[in-house]
Structure 1
């Protein structure tokens, strides 16, 4: 029995190691290629023959008509930050309303919202585009912010499930003391929901930061300074440009991960504090 268990454990670890390698190899190749002195694509060798910071220098300090990464990064950061704030507020408010408040048609509205959220977003993209075009908000950061934030409240389900675990007696005690619904939300529910707030904030930032399809549909401008990071990096992969900008594309892909990593590192402390503080809600 011990031999069988040991053999099964070894087999599982070997399989997991192989899967991890399959997942890590493209990422490692992307990183090492970004430090290559060669501009194009090279398949003959995994590691570059000459190491250099030339691609990062081109990325940030030598923007041109094909690769204007500083402008792309700025546009994506502005859209991501505003969407993060607006979407997080929407999700938390909708989740609180469905979890802690009672009103007519509450269950019907919640069921309808869940069913509506099951439909792929791609089904509504064309309609959204024409609506935004009618009001003149295509090719603008404001239009993308409205598109990404407008339907964010439909992602309330996970957050609502967490709010359901907060004892109703805490809210009732606050209301007996004269607290309004807003004070109950901000003074009772929010401080006890730090882990869920962190989850909501990170998701709200990742959606606009990583999205390509909606950004490509909304931004029809041919001027590179109007694009987001995803649209700009995709444009570099054209056949006419990939031979000169592939290593720059890899460097841009590495830099894209930096804001996400910083956001996680900042929020990690609050995540741990939220878990330890939320463990004594009862």
Structure 2
């Protein structure tokens, strides 16, 4: 009876996993095939196109109406720099909050936790006014600054990871004459590779796909990111060229997909490393 119930449970588990896989893969496959389908319409009577074409991908970079190549480079620059600065800020700040004891530490953690509970778009007006006063509107530097500074509020998983590292390692290094910076650079950073990979990947992904802040700050078409440009593509053509939009969406997904494929082991370790305190 136990074997039979175990078999039934395992069967239902595989069926559920198969259904989840189909629901996850079908939209992605549909967009990919739509990008290869001739014509501007995304609707088709057949799931598999009768013929394939790369004209939509070619048009993305040759049509002068929109600047897909420029938007791609802009987004790559913003996402890469945001990833670097976010990782540095999160690592340094959470290391200090985890390993050092100073006045106002618990208050700082509480304030960061409370602020992190609110949606980021609630600060749109305040950010807009600050950037306007600093004369940073319509610049990539403003976007990078907002992304990098805002990411610190979500870095508690890094603090949880540093909390799991025994303090005896710090003390032994300090006895041997190492400074705080040497302890951080030679001991903590090598141990932090999984969680830093997770932070870098999530920071890159967030900056790569964000629309709200980019739409607020960037006003010039040549400075737009992919999210803003693709929105304008559909908005301007009034739903008449969705296959072109599908081709752009496929190219947008390539960098994130490659990062997840090559860094998936580090990503899993980073997700679980700060989950519990040992």
What is the CA–CA distance in structure 1 between the aligned matches of 2:268 and 2:29, rounded to whole Å?
30
CA contact under 8 A between 1:139 and 1:218: conserved in structure 2? yes
What is the CA–CA distance in structure 2 between the aligned matches of 1:133 and 1:63, rounded to whole Å?
33
| CA-CA distance at 1:102 after TM superposition | 1.3
CA contact under 8 A between 2:90 and 2:151: conserved in structure 1? yes
Structure 1 match to 2:11 = 10
- 3-state SS of 2:63 partner: coil
1:256 alignment partner, one of 233, 239, 252: 252
Structure 2 match to 1:278 = none
Deviations 1:43-78 (A, max 9, x none): 422222220111111123x1322x321011011011
| CA-CA distance at 1:14 after TM superposition | 2.2
Aligned residue pair count? 271
Moved over 4 A (4+): 268-275
Structure 2 match to 1:156 = 155
Tell me if 1:82 matches 2:81.
Answer: yes
- Residues 122 and 84 of structure 1: is their aligned pair in 2 closer, same or farther, counting only changes over 3 Å? same
- Residues 263 and 21 of structure 1: is their aligned pair in 2 closer, same or farther, counting only changes over 3 Å? closer
Tell me if 1:191 matches 2:187.
Answer: no
Structure 2 match to 1:28 = 29
- Gap runs ≥5 in structure 1: 276-281
Which of 101-110 and 185-194 deviates more? Answer: 101-110
- Residues 272 and 14 of structure 1: is their aligned pair in 2 closer, same or farther, counting only changes over 3 Å? closer
CA contact under 8 A between 1:41 and 1:242: conserved in structure 2? no
What is the CA–CA distance in structure 1 between the aligned matches of 2:12 and 2:265, rounded to whole Å?
36
What is the CA–CA distance in structure 1 between the aligned matches of 2:161 and 2:247, rounded to whole Å?
39
What is the CA–CA distance in structure 2 between the aligned matches of 1:91 and 1:133, rounded to whole Å?
26
Q: What pairs with 1:1-282 in structure 2 (closer than 5 Å)?
A: 1=1, 2-60=3-61, 62-65=62-65, 67-221=66-220, 223=221, 225-238=222-235, 240-243=237-240, 245-267=241-263
CA contact under 8 A between 1:55 and 1:248: conserved in structure 2? yes
Deviations 1:114-159 (A, max 9, x none): 1111111111112111221222211111111111112222222100
Q: TM-score, normalised by structure 2?
A: 0.90
CA contact under 8 A between 2:198 and 2:266: conserved in structure 1? no
Q: TM-score, normalised by structure 1?
A: 0.89
